[in-house]
């Protein structure tokens, strides 16, 4: 069972502000990219081919605490850790570091809830066994 995953990305020019610092909203894009890569690494998908039909994963809570700026062309390691998993929700923690450095530049979190979509309504449901049996909280 998996509980941790890491991706590496370079901060692109379009992801920065006028000072060349990564815009705060792009941290959420990096976190979501890490989440999707993690799920794919398990042979799963949150949408499209390979996904459970009728299931979605809306975000119910997101946060990011910024410690040090990331700048244009910095290579960033985004480490994902499964913080917790319940019958219906997964909480992911994220740790940002410049590649090769130990100091954390940002800490993030995303809580996703497994939902069904019927008749235009969304309702929390149990995480499919195909997901639950492959994911566990980090220790």
pLDDT digits (tens, 9 = 90+) for 40-91: 999 998 876 566 778 889 999 999 999 999 999 999 999 999 999 999 999 9
**What pLDDT is stored for residue 45 in this prediction?**
86
pLDDT of residue 91: 98
> Could you tell me the CA-to-CA distances from 2 to 6, 38, 132 in Å, in that order?
12, 9, 10
Kindly indicate whether the domain formed by 4-132 is annotated with CATH number 3.40.50.300. no
pLDDT at residue number 47: 79
Q: What is the pLDDT of residue 50?
A: 63
pLDDT in tens, 10-19: 999 999 999 9
Q: Which of 108, 137, 135, 114 is nearest to 31 (CA)?
A: 108
Domain ranges of the chain: 4-132
Per the CB < 8 A criterion, the answer to whether 92 and 112 are in contact is yes
Q: 53, 107, 103, 40: which is closest to 80 by C-alpha?
A: 107
């Amino acid at each position: 069972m998996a509980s941790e995953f890491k991706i590496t990305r370079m901060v692109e020019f379009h992801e920065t502000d006028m000072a060349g610092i990564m815009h705060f909203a792009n941290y959420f894009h990096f976190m979501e990219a890490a989440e999707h890569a993690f799920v794919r690494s398990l042979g799963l998908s949150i949408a499209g081919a390979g996904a459970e039909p009728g299931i979605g994963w809306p975000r119910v809570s997101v946060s990011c605490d910024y410690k040090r700026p990331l700048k244009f062309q910095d290579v960033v390691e985004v480490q994902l850790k499964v913080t917790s998993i319940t019958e219906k929700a997964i909480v992911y923690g994220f740790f940002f570091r410049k590649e090769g450095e130990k100091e954390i530049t940002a800490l993030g979190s995303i809580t996703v809830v497994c939902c069904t979509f019927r008749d235009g309504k969304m309702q929390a449901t149990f995480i499919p066994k195909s997901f639950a049996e492959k994911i566990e909280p980090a220790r």
